[in-house]
Amino acid sequence: MLKNIALIILATISFISLFSCGEDNTNEIGHVDGLIKILDSSEEVLHNVDTTTLFEINIFVKQSIEKIQSKNDTLIKEAALEADQYINKLKTLYDLSKNYKKYQIEIDIIRTQLNNLKQDLNNGLISKKQFPAYYEIEQAGVIGINDKITHATNGMSNRLDKMKENKAAFEKLINDPKSYTSYYK
């Protein structure tokens, strides 16, 4: 029994020493960790968006547009311009609400790939010579999702605040019969 334990310990030590003599990938792992930090930062920016307000306003504006269309009437010029200013902001809100889950899925996939790359480096499965090719692919993914999130969330808090502030005025505008051309006929 003691002989078996000693054999297992010897085999384990031999196995560890055999694979630990490989290349030191500390620098490469540091680069991967840097990409993970950028990805974490992008995810934090995405999660800092007030999604409750985002989805509420998105639904409100869609319902308001349907209400305007259901009247079978045309807004007068002044009302149309005011409504357009409010509705125009919806495009960026809609894009973010539509893509929010896609962005999170993309972040999760990239994070898994980065962790797999890091694990492969730790296990000596990727040489220093091979690393730049893998790194370039992963870096492109991180930069891509970072750009998407930055573009989608840029100024989002201000837009949401302004839309919340102007919600009552917009609602009053679309409910006011004076906003429609039939009122003046």
Query: Is 156 a domain residue?
Result: yes
Task: Report whether pLDDT(168) > 60.
Answer: yes
Q: Could you count the other beta carbons within 10 Å of the beta carbon of residue 97?
A: 18
Domain extent for 127: 25-184
What is the tally of structural domains in the chain?
A: 1
User: In this structure, are residues 127 and 23 in contact, taking their beta carbons and an 8 Å threshold?
Assistant: yes
Task: Report whether pLDDT(34) > 60.
Answer: yes
Q: What number is the average pLDDT over the span 4-18? A: 42
Tens of pLDDT, residues 147-165? 999 999 998 888 888 888 8
Query: Is 79 a domain residue?
Result: yes
Task: Report whether pLDDT(12) > 60.
Answer: no
pTM for the model stands at 0.73
Query: Is 145 a domain residue?
Result: yes
* E strand or H helix that includes residue 90: helix 90-122
Query: Is 14 a domain residue?
Result: no
Task: Report whether pLDDT(23) > 90.
Answer: no
